Amino acid sequence: MNENQLREQIVTMGRSLFDRGLTMGSSGNISVRTGDGWIMTPTNVCLGRLDPARLTRLDARGQHLDGDPPTKEAFLHLAMYEERPQDNAIVHLHSTHSVAVSCLPDVCEQDCIPPLTAYYVMRVGKLPLVPYHMPGDLALGDAVRGLAGRHSAVLLANHGPVVAGKNLEAAVYATEELEETAKLYLLLRGQNPRCLTQAQIDALQERYGKP
């Protein structure tokens, strides 16, 4: 895809996510890696009403080139890209059920949501919790850097998911799968649901690879 197509794709995906209530107000941000840097959503914009011409462009060193000022979490996206050279897009949302899980007192910090379904295992896998820091806190970058090599998705405590994918479509699919599985997890809490076994997980990863 050329740069204009990537810009249009960010706008289309942002509108779709917002229109379906997957993020609210001016929350969330999206980025894609280009041949010579990144295109990101600007800070304090609604993902449902992005202007392709005003998206932020960063150079290969992460410096602001043009467009509106970048998301306050540009450093967090860059930290994740650094650890995941195979990925070219990142989506961060305040999707309600995922945020709810990130606030639970007894959440497992190594893996916040059990392997309830095949598609969750295929698109997300293990989901570590990143300790709470305020949005824009540079400490989030270090925390994510330590996890992103092994995990394509992380959950920021009391905040929301950050999900990488090989392209924007893949990152959005994984974010949607995460949100729906978080919803299932909350529906099933206290009911001792049957999860996929390790053998079932291994078989999925053998056929479809690790997310």
* Angstrom distance (rounded) from CA 169 to CA 174: 9
Q: How far is the CB of 73 from ligand 13P (least distance, A)?
A: 6
Residue linked to tokens 């690879």 = 209
* Angstrom distance (rounded) from CA 140 to CA 186: 26
Active-site residue, from 3, 82, 119, 132: 119
Of the pair 42, 165, the CB lying nearest ligand 13P is at 42
Q: How far is the CB of 162 from ligand 13P (least distance, A)?
A: 9
Q: Positive or negative, the Cα torsion across 24, 80, 172, 200?
A: negative
Map residue 108 onto helix, strand or coil: coil
The residue of the chain with the least Cβ separation from ligand 13P equals: 71
Q: What is the dihedral of CA 174, 177, 181, 182, to 10 degrees?
A: 60
Active-site residue, from 73, 176, 177, 179: 73
Of the pair 139, 187, the CB lying nearest ligand 13P is at 139
Residues that bind ligand 13P (CB under 6 A): 26-29, 43-44, 71-73, 92, 135
To the query of whether residue 177 is one of the catalytic residues in this protein, the response is no
Of the pair 14, 28, the CB lying nearest ligand 13P is at 28
Which residue type is seen at 205?
Q
Q: How far is the CB of 123 from ligand 13P (least distance, A)?
A: 21
To the query of whether residue 185 is one of the catalytic residues in this protein, the response is no
Of the pair 72, 183, the CB lying nearest ligand 13P is at 72
* The pairing of beta strand 129-130 with beta strand 153-156: parallel
Residues designated catalytic? 73, 119
